[in-house]
Amino acid sequence: MATDAEVFVYTGPVGERVPIDVVRALVDPSVVSIHEGAFYGRKKLDEVELCEGLVEIGEDSFRWCVNSITKINIPISLRRIRNGAFFGSLDVRSISTMALKALEETHFVPASLLISESHP
């Protein structure tokens, strides 16, 4: 991740305004669920850090980021990825975790995530 000044910290309340020009995002460790559409259409979003404790990524949370997300980590605590969460958003070449194997319920997880292995 970049320096703190360059990172938007998502703290999770419904209706929180995520800056339209956000490039790097850190989901605060207190967040259990990313609400529906939280990062919808953030076309400059390149890097997302999801912290341990996150259980759910809501419907359309990162939808239509126009294949801009090239780096994302999935915490082992994640259990649900809701419908369309990453639709039209991922250009991930590697993923940092084995957590996807632990998902209990999955809706529209891109094939690139399902077949990726853990990378440091």
Cβ neighbors of 12 (< 8 A, separation 6 or more) are 27, 28, 30, 31, 32, 33, 34, 35
The domain defined by 1-120 folds into 3.80.10
Q: Where are the domains of the chain?
A: 1-120
| More confidently predicted of 13 and 35 | 35
The stretch 75-92 carries a mean pLDDT of 86
pLDDT for res 29: 96
State the pLDDT at residue 93. Answer: 63
pLDDT (tens digit, 9 = 90+) per residue, 34-66? Answer: 999 999 999 999 999 999 999 999 999 999 998
Whole-number pLDDT of residue 44: 94
Reported pTM: 0.78
